[in-house]
Amino acid sequence: MILKKNQDGGLNKLLILFLFFVFAPQNIFASQILDYETEKFISKIINDIKSVNEINRKIIFKINNSNEINAFVDINNTIHINSGLIQHSEDYVALLTVLAHEIGHIHLNHVDLRKKNIQDSKKFNNLSMLSVLVGSAISQNPELLQGTLLANATLSNRYINFSKEQEVEADLYSLKTLELLNVNSDSIINLLMTIEKKLLENGFTKENQRISTHPNFEDRIRLINNYQKKKVNNYNTNYNNKFNFIKAKFIGYSDHNDGMNKLNEPYKSYAESIKKARNGKLKMSLQSLNKIIKDYKNSFLIETKAEILFSYGYTNEALKFYKKNLEQHPSNFYAQIRIFENTDIKNLQFNELDQIFNSNKELLFKYYNNKNILIKYLKIAEKLNKKEWINFFNFYLLFDSHEYNTFKKRLIIFKESNDKDLIRLINIIEKAN
């Protein structure tokens, strides 16, 4: 997570951002959160779901910065998970249940079926709407459909019935997954009740629910209760501890206090330590955070400390803690980027620069479009007098996407290099374009 310092150096009010916000092109998507701890945890849950359902395909997901309690599958079969879902899930089972529902949509080929349904109707050629239509079990915005699908009564009835069938199928898929994992929890019922309460508060009545694409909450809860009569339980306490730290972090970085009072210790203190940092109380924040770090051997707490220090301008101190985290999680590219971008190279010796150049190439291969990384690499290449790399970075940084043919011809010239890593980078860029 990132605490962004004001340009004038003041911290009268911190603007809180999650690590490396990426603004998505569609308005229906919020800014993306890139957080290694959360991604690693969600990947583990998804792998468990894939394993018991014998799924071989890769499941791609993104985490959105949105207080709406929601998850959905887009037209490319990518699962979008809102931060609000994480904040309002009582335990990891609630999150797992929703993820299993979304994976059910993918595994049961619902996206392609819906796409065909829309195409066959010859009424809708704007498939970007599919990202809204393929909503999750807990969509809070079914009213978005009213200006499109409900404009044509015949088509809307046909489509909504089709959608509800799929939603029931995905619900059953999710419940079957819980059975295969031998785990259950009342948390998903509580989550559904929370969402319904919020909808009713916003004027979305039970009559609105009736014409929504999703089954109403009463039917969903009845289905869950009937399916979970057999109280098997393989509840993973280790998973839940990890989830609670993640949830606390999300609540701490949120502009809302929803869920803070429901947190138990040490998770409440963790969330509060982040809130204190946001409010300019650095000393109090670090005192609380240091105690939690001492009592609980969680390396991601160290990363949070690094983010807080970095936000206050204590770059060198922050880098030490990023490095500690990276020692335990070598695949944490976000921490590696922090270290790479903020390492002062002015007074480094040739061998030190060469080590930095070579040890961070995976960053270059993975984030080949990140200008900050490219510019930093260019500066290091200049100090090392790596002429081929210098020429390539200067060319690539000035590349105009409107002159793609020229770009491809120039890339071929650079491929004449004897540097295998440079050729690998060029191949990656070619494949992406």
Give the pLDDT confidence of 333-351 residue by residue, as tens digits: 999 999 999 999 999 999 9
Q: Which residue has the tokens 């999150």?
A: 95
Q: How far apart are CA 149 and CA 132, in angstroms?
A: 11
Longest dimension (CA), the chain: 73
Amino acid residing at 385: N
Q: Which residue has the tokens 């057999």?
A: 230
Where is the domain boundary, 227, 248, 272?
227
Same domain? For 356 and 400 the reply is yes
Between 189 and 356, where is the model more confident? 356
Same domain? For 217 and 250 the reply is no
Cβ(91)–Cβ(168) under 8 Å?
A: no
Cβ(366)–Cβ(333) under 8 Å?
A: yes
**Domain enclosing residue 426, as ranges:** 350-432
Q: How far apart are CA 254 and CA 275, in angstroms?
A: 9
Q: Three-state DSSP class for 419?
A: coil
Structure tokens at 319: 């880098």
Rg for the chain, CA atoms, rounded:
24
Between 18 and 316, where is the model more confident? 316
Between 359 and 194, where is the model more confident? 359
Same domain? For 42 and 191 the reply is yes
Question: CA dihedral defined by 424, 429, 431, 433, rounded to 10 degrees?
Answer: -170
Where is the domain boundary, 342, 361, 377?
342
Contact residues for 409 (Cβ-Cβ < 8 A; gap 6+): none
Is 29 a member of any domain? no
Same domain? For 210 and 244 the reply is no
Q: If you count them, how many residues does the chain have? A: 433
Give the pLDDT confidence of 111-152 residue by residue, as tens digits: 777 766 656 654 544 444 444 444 444 444 444 333 333 333
Q: Which residue has the tokens 């059910």?
A: 104
Is 24 a member of any domain? no
Report percent pLDDT > 70 for the chain: 73
Per-residue pLDDT band at 417 (split at 50, 70, 90): confident
Report percent pLDDT > 90 for the chain: 51
Per-residue pLDDT band at 76 (split at 50, 70, 90): confident
Q: How far apart are CA 329 and CA 321, in angstroms?
A: 12
Same domain? For 252 and 191 the reply is no
> 209: closest CA among 133, 129, 148, 142?
142
Where is the domain boundary, 278, 309, 342?
342
Is 4 a member of any domain? no
Is 26 a member of any domain? no
**Secondary structure of 213-278 as H, E, C letters:** CCCCHHHHHHHHHHHCCCCCCCCCHHHHHHHHHHHHHHHHHCCCCCCHHHCCCCHHHHHHHHHHHH
Same domain? For 217 and 256 the reply is no
Give the pLDDT confidence of 196-254 residue by residue, as tens digits: 777 766 665 555 555 455 566 666 776 676 666 556 578 899 999 999 999 999 999 99
User: What pLDDT shows up at residue 61?
Assistant: 96
Distances (CA, A) of 61 to 73, 251, 268, 313, 330: 9, 21, 27, 32, 21
- CA 194, distance to chain mean position in Å, is 22
Is 20 a member of any domain? no
Mean pLDDT over each residue of the chain, to the nearest integer: 80
User: What pLDDT shows up at residue 27?
Assistant: 36
CA angle 106, 108, 114 (to 5 degrees): 75
Question: Taking the alpha carbons of 372, 373, 378, 379 in that order, is the dihedral positive or negative?
Answer: positive
Per-residue pLDDT band at 415 (split at 50, 70, 90): confident
Is 5 a member of any domain? no
Q: How far apart are CA 335 and CA 260, in angstroms?
A: 27
Residue 63: beta bridge partners?
A: 33, 81
> 170: closest CA among 226, 215, 225, 233?
215
Q: How far apart are CA 237 and CA 352, in angstroms?
A: 44
Is 11 a member of any domain? no
What average pLDDT does this structure show over 163-182?
A: 86
Same domain? For 338 and 357 the reply is no
Q: How many domains does the chain divide into?
A: 3
Same domain? For 96 and 63 the reply is yes
Same domain? For 310 and 410 the reply is no
Same domain? For 332 and 367 the reply is no
281: CATH:
1.25.40
In angstroms, the first-to-last Cα distance of the chain is: 31
